[in-house]
């Protein structure tokens, strides 16, 4: 796997390597120009396609229309192998190049969020209470654009490109399967299995025209936990007859925060937040039960495992000290989104050629999460960020807000970036022995 990912160093070049290098440079320049021209010609179509998705946002696992449009557009682009109904509304399509070679995958997500649009734009959401507030309309339009561009270049593609259009990135409704893990379970990464997978996400903290990346961890693991603390009910004036679950819960909350301050390596990013607390019945009744609902985020699977264990230890000690009991329902969510450094380093030249060296920016990893991480557990994957901010146009809102929007210039940039990344990967794989 690593061999195919590593660009050949000049120092290892055999005699005649100079000619090979010149040949590779020529091929690269040709590829860049061909993709740039094709992406530019797609500009009006990309904008209209993104606006169509934006007008018709659909919630997680309900992406019926979006998936239908995606499949139609893929077929219109000339892709013959379009599989629909994967993990509910997912679409997986293959684009076979004219020459044999490796397989590479790209992933876009389809779902929107339960947020009421407040923007007054010609393409505002027609679906009350639902909005593409995380840019998945952009991701899907860009990936359709990539399929169109590469479909016109089959003769120069050594290998196969697999396109994954994934539902429910934001999380399936309670009780339903969904998202990346479900796509994998339904064979999205099999037959053929790609050698690598790439994904991009809009970034409102980067200007349009910029691309961001992180080496190693890029986004956090995100787990949910539900703690139930059980005491004993009594009259509020006779607390000695009961076990006050509220007082015990308060101690648990404080003690859990000491995991951050006193137990976990201070150099390791880690967040434990309790977002919801519920308990008690009345002012003069000692509560017999309190539930705490929260999230744990880390950038390391080792820290994640350690936190899980320490939480149990702390809850066990604190509740025992008061004669209370507890249950911990710890639900694993997305793993750490981890970009293997060798894959990132091998890919960066292609991104730098598209937007320019200074526009490719290394970013600190964030504590947000992405289910792209599940694909990375199966094959090496690189998840990078596409700038969408334009301060002059007032486009600065954060994702997951009612005001979120993008500078649509990002569409052509996104198509150029991803098309080059995919083709560059296949060319490198074809060039390595």
- List the one residue from 134, 172, 296, 350 that touches Ni ion (CB under 5 A): 134
Give the residue with the Cβ less far from Ni ion, 134 or 344.
134
Residue 352 falls in which region: left (phi positive, over 0), alpha (psi -120 to 50) or beta: alpha
**In the complex, minimum distance from the CB of residue 147 to Ni ion, in angstroms, rounded to a whole number:** 20
CB-count burial class (<10 Å; 0-12, 13-18, 19+) for 232 = middle
* Cβ atoms of residues 66 and 141 within 8 Å: no
**In the complex, minimum distance from the CB of residue 89 to Ni ion, in angstroms, rounded to a whole number:** 16
Rounded to whole angstroms, the Cα distance separating 250 from 232 reads 16
Q: In the structure encoding, which two tokens stand for residue 356, read together?
A: 């320019």
Check residue 133 for interaction with Ni ion (CB under 5 A): no
Rounded to whole angstroms, the Cα distance separating 426 from 87 reads 27
Handedness of CA 107, 111, 116, 118 (dihedral sign): positive
Give the residue with the Cβ less far from Ni ion, 134 or 346.
134
Q: Which stretch binds Ni ion (CB under 5 A): 46-54, 120-128, 131-139, 278-286?
A: 131-139
Q: Which stretch binds Ni ion (CB under 5 A): 126-134, 150-158, 278-286, 322-330?
A: 126-134
Note the Cα 381 to chain centre separation in Å.
11
Q: Which stretch binds Ni ion (CB under 5 A): 12-20, 132-140, 160-168, 413-421?
A: 132-140
Give the residue with the Cβ less far from Ni ion, 242 or 368.
368
Which parts of 404-433 interact with Ni ion (CB under 5 A)?
none
Check residue 388 for interaction with Ni ion (CB under 5 A): no
Kindly state the number of chain residues that form the binding site for Ni ion, as judged by CB under 5 A.
1
Check residue 112 for interaction with Ni ion (CB under 5 A): no
Give the residue with the Cβ less far from Ni ion, 225 or 383.
383
**In the complex, minimum distance from the CB of residue 134 to Ni ion, in angstroms, rounded to a whole number:** 3
Alpha helices in 296-408, H assignment, sequence order: 301-321, 341-355, 372-376
Which helix H or strand E contains 431, and what residues bound it? Answer: helix 409-431
Give the residue with the Cβ less far from Ni ion, 134 or 314.
134
Q: CB-side exposure of 356: number of CA atoms within 13 Å?
A: 5
**In the complex, minimum distance from the CB of residue 113 to Ni ion, in angstroms, rounded to a whole number:** 9
**In the complex, minimum distance from the CB of residue 109 to Ni ion, in angstroms, rounded to a whole number:** 6
Size of the chain in residues:
433
- Buried b vs exposed e over 251-272: b needs ≥16 C-beta within 10 Å? bbbebbeebeeeebeeeebbeb
Give the residue with the Cβ less far from Ni ion, 4 or 134.
134
**In the complex, minimum distance from the CB of residue 366 to Ni ion, in angstroms, rounded to a whole number:** 12
**In the complex, minimum distance from the CB of residue 47 to Ni ion, in angstroms, rounded to a whole number:** 20
Which residues in this chain contact Ni ion in the complex, by CB under 5 A? 134
């Amino acid at each position: 796997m690593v061999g195919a990912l590593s660009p050949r160093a000049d120092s290892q070049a055999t005699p005649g390597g100079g000619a090979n290098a010149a040949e590779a440079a020529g091929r690269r320049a040709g590829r860049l120009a061909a993709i740039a021209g094709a992406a530019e010609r797609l500009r009006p179509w990309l904008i209209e396609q993104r606006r169509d998705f934006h007008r018709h946002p659909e919630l997680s696992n309900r992406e019926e229309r979006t998936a239908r449009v995606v499949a139609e557009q893929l077929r219109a682009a000339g892709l013959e192998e379009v599989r629909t109904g994967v993990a509910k509304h997912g679409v997986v399509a293959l684009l076979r190049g004219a020459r044999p070679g490796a397989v590479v995958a790209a992933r876009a997500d389809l779902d929107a969020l339960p947020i009421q649009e407040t923007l007054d734009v010609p393409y505002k959401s027609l679906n009350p209470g639902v909005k593409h507030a995380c840019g998945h309309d952009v991701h899907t339009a860009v990936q359709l654009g990539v399929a169109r561009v590469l479909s016109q270049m089959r003769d120069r593609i050594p290998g196969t490109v697999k396109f994954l259009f994934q539902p429910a990135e934001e999380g399936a409704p309670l009780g339903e399967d969904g998202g990346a893990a479900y796509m994998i379970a339904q064979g999205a990464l099999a037959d053929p299995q790609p050698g690598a997978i790439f994904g991009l996400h809009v970034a409102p903290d980067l200007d349009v025209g910029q691309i961001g990346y992180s080496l190693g961890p890029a986004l956090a693991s995100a787990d949910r936990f539900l703690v139930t603390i059980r005491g004993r009910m009594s009259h509020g004036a006779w607390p000695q007859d009961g076990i006050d679950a509220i007082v015990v819960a308060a101690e648990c909350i404080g003690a859990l925060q000491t995991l951050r301050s006193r137990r976990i390596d201070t150099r390791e990013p880690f967040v434990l937040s309790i977002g919801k607390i519920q308990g008690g019945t009345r002012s003069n009744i000692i509560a017999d039960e309190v539930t705490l609902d929260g999230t744990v985020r880390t950038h390391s699977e080792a820290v994640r495992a350690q936190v899980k264990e320490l939480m149990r230890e702390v809850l066990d000690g604190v509740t025992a000290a008061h004669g209370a009991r507890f249950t911990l329902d710890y639900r694993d969510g997305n793993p750490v989104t981890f970009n293997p450094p060798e894959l990132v380093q091998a890919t960066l030249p292609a991104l730098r050629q598209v937007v320019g060296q200074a526009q490719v920016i290394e970013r600190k990893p964030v504590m947000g999460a992405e289910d792209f991480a599940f694909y990375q557990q199966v094959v090496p994957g690189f998840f990078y960020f596409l700038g969408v901010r334009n301060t002059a146009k007032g486009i600065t809102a954060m994702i997951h807000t009612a005001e979120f929007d993008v500078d649509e210039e990002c569409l052509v940039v996104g198509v150029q970036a991803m098309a080059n990344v995919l083709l560059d990967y296949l060319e490198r794989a074809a060039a390595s022995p």
